Structure 1
Amino acid sequence: MEKNCEVVWEKCLSIIRDIVEWQPYKTWFEPIKPVKLENNVLTIQVPSQFFYEYLEEHYVELLAKILRRELGKDARLEYRIVVEKGSAQRHPATVDMPTHYDKPQTQNEVDFPLFQQNTPVKNPFVIPGLKRIQIDSQLNPHYTFETFIEGDCNRVARRAGKAVAEKPGATSFNPLVIYGGVGLGKTHLAQAVGNAVKKLHPHKTVLYVSTEKFINQFIDHSKHNAINDFIHFYQLIDVLILDDIQFFANAEKSQDAFFAIFNHLHQSGKQLVLTSDKPPKDLEKVQERLLSRFRWGLSADLQVPDFETRMEILENKMRNDGLEMPKEVVKYIAYNIQTNVRELEGALISLLAQSSLNRKEIDLDLAKKVLKSFIKTSSKEITIEAIQRMVCEHLGVPYEKLLEKTRKREIVQARQITMYLAKSFTKNSLKTIGEHFGGRDHTTVIHSCQTVKDLMETDAAFREMLMELQQKVQLSAL
Structure 2
Amino acid sequence: MSKTAQSVWNNCLEFIKDNIQPQAYRTWFEPIQAVKLTDNALSIQVPSKFFYEWLEEHYVKILKVSLTKELGETAKLVYIIKMENTYGNKQPFTEKIPSANRSAMKSQEVDVPLNNKNPELRNPFVIPGIRNVKIESQLNPNYSFENFLEGDSNRLARSAGLAVASKPGGTSFNPLLIFGGVGLGKTHLAHAIGVDIKDKYPEKTVLYISAEKFTQQYIDSVKKNNRNDFIHFYQIIDVLIIDDVQFLSGKTGTQDVFFHIFNHLHQNGKQVILTSDKAPVDMQDIEQRLLSRFKWGLSAELQTPDFETRVSILKNKLYRDGVDMPEDIIEYVAKNIKSNVRELEGAIISLIAQSSFNKKEITLDLARIIVEKFVKNTKREVSIDYIQKVVSDYFQMDIDTLQSKTRKRHIVQARQLAMFFAKKFTKASLASIGSQIGKRDHATVLHACKTVDNLSTTDKQFRKYVDDITKKLSV
TM range (shorter): 0.5 to 0.7
- Counterpart in 1 of 2:200? 200
Gaps of 5+ in 1: 1-121, 378-477
Q: Distance in 1 between matches of 2:143 and 2:53?
A: 30
Counterpart of 2:177 in 1: which secondary structure? strand
Distance in 1, Cα, partners of 2:259 & 2:367: 49
| Aligned equivalent of 2:274 | 274
CA distance in 1, matches of 2:354, 2:170: 49
Q: Deviations for 1:283-320, whole angstroms, at most 9, x for unmatched residues?
A: 10011010000000000000000010001100111111
Alpha-carbon displacement from aligned partner over 1:163-187 (angstroms, at most 9, x marks no partner):
0000000001100000000000000
Summarize the Cα distance change of 1:168–1:184 in structure 2 as closer, same or farther, 3 Å threshold: same
Q: Which position in structure 1 is the counterpart of 2:157?
A: 157
Match of 1:323 in 2: 323
Q: Deviations over 1:205-228 (max 9, x none)?
A: 000000000000111111000100
Q: Distance in 2 between matches of 1:256 and 1:186?
A: 25
Amino acid across the alignment from 1:145: F
Q: Tell me the distance in 1 between the aligned counterparts of 2:53 and 2:318.
A: 46
Residue 230 of structure 1 is matched in structure 2 by 230
Is contact 1:132–1:205 with CA below 8 Å preserved after alignment?
no
Q: Give the counterpart letter for 2:178 in structure 1.
A: I
Instruction: Answer whether contact 1:175 1:272 (CA < 8 A) is retained.
Output: yes
Residues 152-191 of structure 1 aligned to structure 2 (within 5 Å) = 152-191=152-191
* Matches of 1:230 and 1:331, distance apart in 2: 50
Where does residue 262 of structure 1 map in the other structure?
A: 262
1:140 matched residue in structure 2: 140
Q: SS of the counterpart of 1:274?
A: strand
Provide the aligned length of Structure 1 versus Structure 2. 257
Residue pairs, 1:201-216, within 5 angstroms: 201-216=201-216
Q: Partner amino acid for 2:267?
A: Q
Q: Which digits, 9 at most, give the CA deviation of each residue in 1:189-238, with x for residues without a partner?
A: 01100000000111100000000000001111110001001110011100
The code of the aligned residue for 1:327 comes to: E
Runs of 5+ consecutive residues of structure 2 not aligned to the other structure: 1-51, 58-82, 84-111, 115-129, 378-474
Q: CA deviation at 1:324?
A: 1.1
Q: Which secondary structure does the structure 1 equivalent of 2:194 belong to?
A: helix
* Contact 1:307/1:334 (<8 A) preserved: yes
Q: How far apart in 2 are the matches of 1:132 and 1:155?
A: 38
Q: Please name the residue that 1:335 is paired with.
A: 335
Provide the residue aligned with 2:249 in structure 1.
Answer: 249
Contact 1:177 1:276 in 2 (8 A): yes
One-letter code aligned to 1:224: K
Tell me if structure 2 keeps the 8 A contact 1:176–1:300: yes
Give the aligned partner of residue 447 of structure 2: none
Aligned equivalent of 1:293: 293
Please tell me the root mean square deviation across aligned C-alpha atoms, in Å. 1.9
Please report how far the alpha carbon of residue 124 of structure 1 lies from its aligned counterpart in structure 2 after TM superposition.
2.9
Query: Residue 54 of structure 2 aligns to which amino acid in structure 1?
Result: P
What does residue 368 of structure 1 align with? 368
Q: In structure 2, what residue type is equivalent to 1:168?
A: P
Distance 1:353 1:234 in 2: 43
Q: 1: distance between equivalents of 2:53 and 2:347?
A: 48
Report SS of the residue matched to 2:241. Answer: strand
What are the equivalent positions in structure 2 for 1:41-52 lying under 5 Å apart?
none
Aligned to 1:283: 283
Equivalents in 1 of 2:282, 2:223: separation in Å?
Answer: 32
Shift of 1:133: 5.5
**In the TM superposition, what are the counterparts of 1:302-317 in structure 2 within 5 Å?**
302-317=302-317
Write the mapping of 1:336-351 to structure 2, written as runs, cut at 5 A: 336-351=336-351
2:54 aligned with 1:124: yes
Residues 310-334 of structure 1 show CA distances to partners (whole Å, capped at 9, x for unaligned) of 0110011111111111111111111
> Matches of 2:133 and 2:143 in 1, distance apart?
22
Matches within 5 A, 1:41-120: none
Q: Give 1:357's aligned residue.
A: 357
Does the residue aligned with 2:301 lie in a helix, a strand or coil? strand
SS in 2 for 1:335: helix
Aligned AA for 1:124? W
* One-letter amino acid matched to 1:166: S
Relative to the length of structure 2, the TM-score reads 0.52
Q: What letter is aligned with 1:170?
A: G
Q: For 1:175 and 1:328, locate their aligned partners in 2 and report how far apart those are by CA, in whole Å.
A: 42
- C-alpha contact 1:123 1:236 (8 A) present in aligned 2: no
SS of structure 1 residue aligned to 2:281 = helix
User: How far did residue 131 of structure 1 move?
Assistant: 3.8
Quickly say closer, same or farther: Cα 1:132–1:197, change in 2 above 3 A: farther
Q: CA deviation at 1:243?
A: 0.4
Q: Which amino acid aligns with 2:224?
A: H
Q: What amino acid does structure 1 have at the position aligned with 2:199?
A: K
* 1:207 partner SS: strand
Q: Deviations over 1:119-164 (max 9, x none)?
A: xxx9738995634551000000001100100000000000000000
Measured in 2, the distance between the counterparts of 1:179 and 1:123 equals 37
Distance 1:174 1:261 in 2: 14
Deviation at 1:374, TM superposition (A): 2.5
* Structure 1 residue aligned with 2:239: 239
After TM superposition, give the deviation of residue 375 of structure 1 in Å.
3.0
CA deviation after TM superposition for structure 1 residue 356, in Å = 1.0
Task: Give the structure-1-normalised TM-score.
Answer: 0.52
**Amino acid of the residue matched to residue 150 of structure 2?**
E
In percent, how many aligned pairs have the same letter?
60
Runs of 4+ in 1 over 6 A off after TM superposition: none
Q: 1:270 is aligned with what amino acid? A: K
**1:119 alignment counterpart:** none
- CA 1:123–1:178: 2 relative to 1, 3 Å: farther
Task: Kindly provide the amino acid, as one letter, of the partner of residue 237 in structure 2.
Answer: I
Conservation of the 8 A alpha-carbon contact between 1:218 and 1:254: yes
Residue 357 of structure 1, CA deviation: 1.0
Q: Distance in 2 between matches of 1:316 and 1:368?
A: 21
Q: CA–CA distance in 2 between the matches of 1:214 and 1:251?
A: 12
